[in-house]
Amino acid sequence: MIAALFFYLFSAVLIASAFLVITSRNPVHSVLFLILAFFNAAGLFLLLGAEFLAMLLVVVYVGAVAVLFLFVVMMLDVDFAEFKQGFMRYLPVGGAIGAIVLLELVLVVGGWRVDAASLANVASPAPPAMSNTLALGRVLYTQYAYLFIAAGMVLLTAMIGAIILTLHHKVGIKRQDVAAQNARTPKDAVELRKKSFRQGV
Amino acid sequence: MTPLSLALAHSLPEVILAVGVLGLVLYGALRGKASDGPVTEIAVGLLGAAILVILLGFKEQAILFDGAVIDDGFGRFMKVLALIGSLTALVMGQDFLARERIDKFEFPILVLLATLGMMVLISAQNLISMYLGLELMSLALYVVAAFNRDDLRASEAGLKYFVLGALSSGMLLYGASLIYGFAGTVDFAGIAAATQGHVSIGIIFGLVFLMTGLAFKMSAVPFHMWTPDVYEGAPTPVTAFFGSAVKMAAVAITVRVLMTAFPGAEAQWRQIIVFISILSMALGAFAAIGQTNIKRLMAYSAIGHVGFALVGLAAGTQEGVFGVMVYMAIYLVMTLGSFAAILSMRVAGHAVEQISDLSGLAKNNPLMAFFFAMLMFSLAGIPPLAGFFAKWYVFNAAIQAHLYPLAVIGVLSSAVAAYYYLRVVKIMYFDEAAPAFDPPTPALRVVLAITSLFVLFLFAYPALFIDATATAAKSLF
Amino acid sequence: MYAAILFLPLIGFLIAGPFGRQLGARPSELVTTSLLFVAALLSWIAFANVALGEEPGSVALLGEWFSSGALRAEWTVRVDSLTAVMLVVVTTVSALVHLYSIGYMSDDPSRPRFFSYLSLFTFAMLALVTADNLLQMFFGWEGVGLASYLLIGFWYQKPSANAAAIKAFVVNRVGDFGFLLGIFMVFVLTRSINFEQIFAAAPGLANTTIHVFGAEWDAMTITCLLLFMGAMGKSAQFLLHTWLPDAMEGPTPVSALIHAATMVTAGVFMVARLSPLFEQAPHALSFVIFIGATTAFFAATVGLVQNDIKRVIAYSTCSQLGYMFVALGVGGYSIGIFHLFTHAFFKALLFLGAGSVIVAMHHEQDMRNMGGLWRKIPFTFAMMTIGTLALTGFPYTSGYFSKDAIIEAAYASHRPMAFYGYLMTVIAAALTSFYSWRLVFLTFFGKAQWADEGHGAAAHSVGAAAVAGHAPDAHAADAHDDHGHHGPLNPHEAPIVMLIPLAVLAVGALFAGLIFHSDFIGEGFNEFWKGSLFLGPDNHILHEMEEIPHLAALMPTIMMVAGFLIALYMYILAPATPARLAAAMPALYRFLLNKWYFDELYDKIFVRPAFWLGNLFWRGGDGAIIDRLGPDGVAARVVDVTGRVVRLQSGYIYHYAFAMLIGLAAIITWYIVGGVR
């Protein structure tokens, strides 16, 4: 009963905040609503007993990704009003399509019955008396090693892509060269000169 | 052999690419120079090695890594095609990139990563490996599309492709989760078992969303909108890569998903395939007519050809799959050849890409004009060139599956499409000569000659090619 | 080795064709010619092994071509006795012609092209004779047709050569159409195009019928008639013969190789190869006799009055091909092939000899402008005489054995039309003798017509005017005649490379019959052919022809002598006779001179109505109706549609995303509304 109550609470807030992410005029508000949405999603995970995923969501998405977003949004002065110019123009069409798809999905998902046959298909059922983290760890590096490595390659690609598209080697800029700094000795850097007293340099 | 070592042995081509990529990243980063140096050559070597390993390696079928991967004849065939596409695109593009001063070492690395994604994608045996393969491929593609980041059109192309690709990935994931929800498994074989007999509407919905994501990658109508802009905006070698290898992987995974995961829902997905196939063929035929940019023309041509290939898939039979494979193989050759010609379009050191720049090519460079004309004729499907056989096999399969309207529409739209291919030939042969092109590089010459001779003479001895394809097609059934 | 025979000429073509210009003329000649000589040597070895020796026939599979349903086509080299004979004929004559052409074409600027075409032709012909299925045979069949077209039109600057090439191509197309239909029929009846399967199935099809146009037809008769139609086209038989005389526009070596020795005999070869089918269709065989006999007679009559030296020989070829078909028709396949074999030697000899004469006369082809040449070119004269002796069937020359055998077989046969065949061939024998000797007498004896008049365009136009509106051939060599020679003409013997082939062929023309006749058609029949020719159980023609009355067997020789005597009288003893005869029977003379008015007839029946119909459809049907309502209208609509479609491509991401979403929604709605079916 309590679980059901919290489920509906989390879900309602999640949907509402997701909606506000799109509609709010201030981008900073959008990101804040996004963070709220993440928290609620984490709550839903908790209700399902997936505490590891819930924590992951909070730590990674809220702690890292969303905060990064916030920085970016605040640092770049993006004029979101310009972006949203066409919004009202296309609202009727977009709204209609969205409504149709939504209606149809409701029709479909409404008739969803989780039958026994489907449950029997589950690839790695969570073993009883084992923590979430342990269960994930057991299969992640064994059964799903291939997929794990593939995911690693995806991240590597993203990294390379980000670097190649954004890193500019501008000429005429002084950069910090740690090796050069460490290699410096007082002899290279400092020069002592005898100067006679009370005279200009 | 232990399961792991067997699995690694079966995925040796993937291992070669993955390890090679890591090595090249290290090498490139430590080397620290702007130009690509020998990285392209090494990447080509890696791709060639992967092709050799596939050709000489295992012949039997195996399911590996706890059902995430399958190594079968179909996969090997399509992988070889994709690898050939990547390899040729790299070889052809080197000179172009160097002239545009974007020959950074990351380019071959990203192409390798995309190819690795294709391999994962082609041999995917569950929804997760499929998604990971797709993302690996797509991410690398987004970047290479915008690789010339100082060029406005290229950046725009990359951004468009990225945004729309993200949308399509979202749809695909949504579909995958619907399917998982209703079937209770992500495994293709498991899904096939769950859809045997009764197919619930939920799975159909999931299938529709999934197909949306895949159709986007194949650039089938109405999920094609990115194609002309990206083809035009991206650097030409990248466009060649998009047109060749990427198409192979996208079509391969579509065939595999539909044939192995949803044989029970054939009646349902056939409707989708027929729908997008007809739209693609028609749009590819009509929209290309008004184009003045040769790369944009090739984009619409690609859309049309995907429509033709899907005709074979719509049949849903072994002949159909065979037809699709023949089609894709021949399409690969024709595309690579055409792009070799397009890459050769360079006046006084500057790349040109208007169709009118081809004017009078027959006088300036008769051999190149002849080869390009043969490729155009083949793309139009004129017998006895290879493109005719490609179309013949897919239409034949459709006829045998009693999809008469589809076959008729296909033939009609290929008649319309012939117009713009022939227009290119007409411009080359009958129009006033434009300034002559610079002599093409040896790599382009070789690719152009080999591909044209292939389409010219396939009819004389098709048995070897056809038999290999037929054997590979059998493995899906 | 067999594959080498087949592919050596192709290699020659591939070297001399694309790279001839870079190589230069001389290396191209040497490469193609020497490759051909190797092929000829190998062919003789094959002949010795397979036909004369004990080695069994073989079918080597070079590779699969394609398969589609029940239709399986392969690239093969089938070598049995029949093929071996053809291999020898084709490669030997081809090699000699290559050699000869080095001399004959020595002043032509595009020799590499010529030699590459010759080699291409040889390859196609070999593919034809080594075929083990109908499709490969058809490949070779079309290949030789193509090469023939290219070679007839070799001097493409000449409109007449172009016209002749097109004519040859089109007339052959009529025959090929029949051949194709025949192949289709065979496939329908036997579900195969491979010879083994077809031949195995043939006896079972003897009385099957097919239902076409509301009537029942004997399937084998229809099939064989269709196949024979192809043979008629290729072998220039009556009704489809008109292209062969015009084909003399090509260089003379081409005439010798293609239009005398090899390609035109493809029809004969095809009927012999398919003898298991024809044996099941007696009505078709009767028709073969009828056509063959008619051709033999008809072509011989036309040959009587022709003035162009090559045309006379061309009609003679036509006539001799008729003989071969008569032999095939009465069931004597080996006799037909035997005549093909010997004919190849003496007809090639005659053509090459004629070429030698033409060279000596500086490309003069009208016999009325020759005369008295035997003193000037004695070697050529001797060779031509040997060829003529063999052609007319002088005892113990090769023509004697093969031609007389045909006439005897025609007499002995009990098939309907066989006696007609006998009658026609006997008469034609006399005519053959007459026109052959007429050729020799006009060319080599009598007054030297070239001595007192300058050689040039004036002479041609005089000649043309003399023959009331018909002598286009007199101009045959004008365009080519580029090694200018002014002043009086001095005929001279041809260079040695042209004389060697003559000598070799002369040996064949004299002795081929004597050496091989027992193998081909005598006691050695079974050991020689080893079953590669099929004879029905009641086909005893070879035996029966030995037992005909003595007088009937002697008839051809009598006729030969008669023809010789008449020619001797008319052209040597009383040279005024021909003109008087022509004046006495002007209608008959013109009828013969104009080749029975076939060209005019076809022009009226086919060519003009076709043009008229074409014009009607073009201007009225296509231009006014179809173009306006069809392509032009459709094209305009297409452009409209294109404009609209292109406008969809706005360049805005959200438009694109919308398109995707609309597509998705449309598909989903389709399922919701229509339900899952």
In a domain, C570, yes or no: yes
Co-location of C347 and C496 in the same domain: yes
Q: What does the alpha-carbon distance between residue B299 and residue B220 come to, in Å, rounded to a whole number?
A: 11
pLDDT band at B69 (very low <50, low <70, confident <90, very high): very high
Q: What does the alpha-carbon distance between residue A120 and residue A97 come to, in Å, rounded to a whole number?
A: 36
Which residues of chain B have a CB within 8 Å of the CB of A117?
184, 194
> From the CA of A97, how many Å to the nearest CA of chain C?
7
- Number of helices and strands in chain C (H, E): 31, 4
Q: Is C550 on the interface with B (CB under 8 A)?
A: no
Inter-chain contacts counted by CB atoms under 8 A, chains A and B? 103
Distance of CA C363 to the CA centre of its chain: 24
In a domain, B112, yes or no: no
Which residues of chain C have a CB within 8 Å of the CB of B449?
none
Residue in chain B lying closest to C637 (CA): B286
List CB contacts of C666: < 8 A, sequence separation 6 or more.
B222
Q: Do residues B35 and B98 touch, judged by C-beta distance below 8 A?
A: yes
In a domain, C300, yes or no: yes
End-to-end CA distance of chain C: 63
Q: Is C673 on the interface with B (CB under 8 A)?
A: no
Q: Given a contact as 3+ CB pairs under 8 Å, which chains touch A? A: B, C
- Test C658 with A104 for CB contact under 8 angstroms: no
**Portion of chain C with pLDDT greater than 70, in percent:** 93
Nearest to B262 by CA among B179, B152, B140: B179
- Test B116 with A153 for CB contact under 8 angstroms: yes
Residue-number span of the structural domain to which C308 is assigned: 281-448+491-577
Residue in chain A lying closest to B25 (CA): A160
- Test B184 with A105 for CB contact under 8 angstroms: no
pLDDT tens-digit map of C111-158: 888 888 999 999 999 999 998 888 889 999 999 999 989 989 888 888
pLDDT band at A35 (very low <50, low <70, confident <90, very high): very high
> From the CA of A191, how many Å to the nearest CA of chain B?
34
Range B456-465 average pLDDT: 87
For all residues of chain C together, what is the average pLDDT? Answer: 83
pLDDT band at B118 (very low <50, low <70, confident <90, very high): very high
Contacts 24+ apart (CB under 8 A), B33-40: B33/B105, B34/B104, B35/B98, B35/B103, B35/B104, B35/B105, B36/B94, B36/B97, B36/B103, B36/B104, B36/B105, B36/B107, B36/B108, B37/B105, B39/B105, B39/B108, B39/B109, B40/B90, B40/B94, B40/B103, B40/B107, B40/B108
Residue C284 phi, psi dihedral angles, 5° rounding: -60, -40
> Which pLDDT score is estimated for A123?
57
| Complex ipTM value | 0.91
Task: Count how many domains chain B has.
Answer: 1
pLDDT band at A122 (very low <50, low <70, confident <90, very high): low
In a domain, C313, yes or no: yes
List CB contacts of C85: < 8 A, sequence separation 6 or more.
C47, C51, C337, C341
Lowest mean pLDDT across B134-138, C76-80, C545-549, C632-636: C632-636
List helix spans (H) across B184-244.
188-194, 201-218, 226-233, 236-241
> Which pLDDT score is estimated for B43?
94
pLDDT band at C603 (very low <50, low <70, confident <90, very high): confident
> Which pLDDT score is estimated for B34?
60
- Test B183 with A105 for CB contact under 8 angstroms: no
Co-location of C521 and C660 in the same domain: no
Which residues of chain A have a CB within 8 Å of the CB of B234?
none
Co-location of C512 and C654 in the same domain: no
Q: Is C639 on the interface with B (CB under 8 A)?
A: yes
pLDDT tens-digit map of A127-153: 777 888 888 888 888 889 899 999 999
Partner-chain residue, chosen from B208, B272, B463, that has the shortest CB–CB distance to C66: B463
Q: What does the alpha-carbon distance between residue A77 and residue A65 come to, in Å, rounded to a whole number?
A: 19
> Which pLDDT score is estimated for A87?
66
In a domain, B433, yes or no: yes
Q: Is C670 on the interface with B (CB under 8 A)?
A: yes
pLDDT tens-digit map of B178-219: 898 888 889 999 899 888 878 888 888 899 999 999 999 999
**Portion of chain C with pLDDT greater than 90, in percent:** 11
Range B75-83 average pLDDT: 95
Co-location of C628 and C573 in the same domain: no
In a domain, C417, yes or no: yes
Q: Is B310 on the interface with C (CB under 8 A)?
A: no
Which B residues, 404 through 433, put their C-beta within 8 Å of a C-beta on chain C?
416, 419
In a domain, B104, yes or no: no
Q: What does the alpha-carbon distance between residue C247 and residue C351 come to, in Å, rounded to a whole number?
A: 13
Q: Do residues C107 and C34 touch, judged by C-beta distance below 8 A?
A: no
Q: What does the alpha-carbon distance between residue B223 and residue C662 come to, in Å, rounded to a whole number?
A: 10
CA angle B288, B290, B291 (to 5 degrees): 70
Q: Which of the pair, B52 or B29, is modelled with greater confidence?
A: B52
Partner-chain residue, chosen from B168, B208, B289, that has the shortest CB–CB distance to C667: B208
Q: Which of the pair, C578 or A163, is modelled with greater confidence?
A: A163
In a domain, B337, yes or no: yes
- Test B164 with C657 for CB contact under 8 angstroms: yes
Q: What does the alpha-carbon distance between residue A94 and residue A96 come to, in Å, rounded to a whole number?
A: 5
Task: Give C308's strand partners.
Answer: C366
Residues of A at the C interface, defined by Cβ within 8 angstroms: 86, 90, 93-94, 97, 100-101, 104, 107
Lowest mean pLDDT across A152-156, B134-138, B335-339, C562-566: C562-566
Q: Is the pLDDT of residue C468 over 50?
A: no
> Which pLDDT score is estimated for C470?
41
Q: What does the alpha-carbon distance between residue A57 and residue C156 come to, in Å, rounded to a whole number?
A: 83
Co-location of C399 and C528 in the same domain: yes
Most confident of A16-20, A128-132, B464-468: A16-20
Distance of CA C376 to the CA centre of its chain: 33
For all residues of chain A together, what is the average pLDDT? Answer: 83
Q: What does the alpha-carbon distance between residue C433 and residue C414 come to, in Å, rounded to a whole number?
A: 28
- Test A101 with C664 for CB contact under 8 angstroms: yes
- Test C658 with A93 for CB contact under 8 angstroms: yes
Residue-number span of the structural domain to which B305 is assigned: 264-476
Question: Quick check: helix, strand or coil at residue C168?
Answer: helix
Which residues of chain B have a CB within 8 Å of the CB of C667?
208, 211-212, 272, 275
What the block records as the tokens of C125 is 């012909």
pLDDT tens-digit map of C538-558: 777 777 887 888 888 888 888
In a domain, C110, yes or no: no
| Preferred mutation among B104, B177, B201, B207 to probe A, highest tally of A CBs within 10 A | B201
Partner-chain residue, chosen from B21, B139, B149, that has the shortest CB–CB distance to A158: B139
> Which pLDDT score is estimated for A83?
61
> Which pLDDT score is estimated for C452?
54
Which residues of chain A have a CB within 8 Å of the CB of B158?
165
Q: Do residues B85 and B336 touch, judged by C-beta distance below 8 A?
A: yes
Q: Is the pLDDT of residue A79 over 70?
A: no
pLDDT band at C675 (very low <50, low <70, confident <90, very high): low
pLDDT tens-digit map of C585-597: 888 888 877 777 8
> Which pLDDT score is estimated for C553?
82
In a domain, B91, yes or no: no
Which residues of chain C have a CB within 8 Å of the CB of A107?
672
Q: What does the alpha-carbon distance between residue C420 and residue C404 come to, in Å, rounded to a whole number?
A: 16
pLDDT tens-digit map of C407-438: 888 888 888 888 888 989 999 999 999 999 99
Co-location of C638 and C504 in the same domain: no
Q: Going by DSSP bridges, is the β-strand pair C209-212/C215-218 parallel, antiparallel, or unpaired?
A: antiparallel
Which residues of chain B have a CB within 8 Å of the CB of A108?
201-202, 205
- Test B290 with C63 for CB contact under 8 angstroms: no
Inter-chain contacts counted by CB atoms under 8 A, chains A and C? 21
What the block records as the tokens of A58 is 């909070």
Range C24-47 average pLDDT: 89
Q: Do residues B301 and B379 touch, judged by C-beta distance below 8 A?
A: yes
In a domain, C626, yes or no: yes
Q: Which of the pair, B210 or C56, is modelled with greater confidence?
A: B210
Co-location of C362 and C442 in the same domain: yes
Lowest mean pLDDT across B388-397, B445-454, C12-21, C420-429: C12-21
Q: What does the alpha-carbon distance between residue B270 and residue B313 come to, in Å, rounded to a whole number?
A: 8
Co-location of C554 and C408 in the same domain: yes
Task: Count how many domains chain C has.
Answer: 2
Q: Is the pLDDT of residue C68 over 80?
A: no
| Preferred mutation among B286, B395, B466 to probe C, highest tally of C CBs within 10 A | B286
- Test B208 with C668 for CB contact under 8 angstroms: yes
Which residues of chain A have a CB within 8 Å of the CB of C664?
101
For all residues of chain B together, what is the average pLDDT? Answer: 91
Nearest to C439 by CA among C561, C345, C357: C357
> Which pLDDT score is estimated for B140?
95
> From the CA of B62, how many Å to the nearest CA of chain A?
15
Co-location of C348 and C420 in the same domain: yes
What angle separates helix B12-31 from helix B39-56, to the nearest 10 degrees? Answer: 170
Q: Is the pLDDT of residue B166 over 90?
A: yes
List CB contacts of C193: < 8 A, sequence separation 6 or more.
C71, C72, C73, C133, C134, C135, C183, C186, C187
Co-location of C550 and C640 in the same domain: no
Q: Is the pLDDT of residue C471 over 70?
A: no
Q: Is B20 on the interface with A (CB under 8 A)?
A: no
- Test C661 with A101 for CB contact under 8 angstroms: yes
Q: Do residues B223 and B185 touch, judged by C-beta distance below 8 A?
A: no
Q: Is the pLDDT of residue C213 over 80?
A: no
pLDDT band at A26 (very low <50, low <70, confident <90, very high): confident
- Test C639 with B289 for CB contact under 8 angstroms: yes
> Which pLDDT score is estimated for A117?
60
pLDDT tens-digit map of C263-292: 888 999 999 999 888 888 888 889 999 999
Instruction: Give Cα separations from B34 to A156, B28, B105, B151 (angstroms).
Output: 20, 9, 7, 18
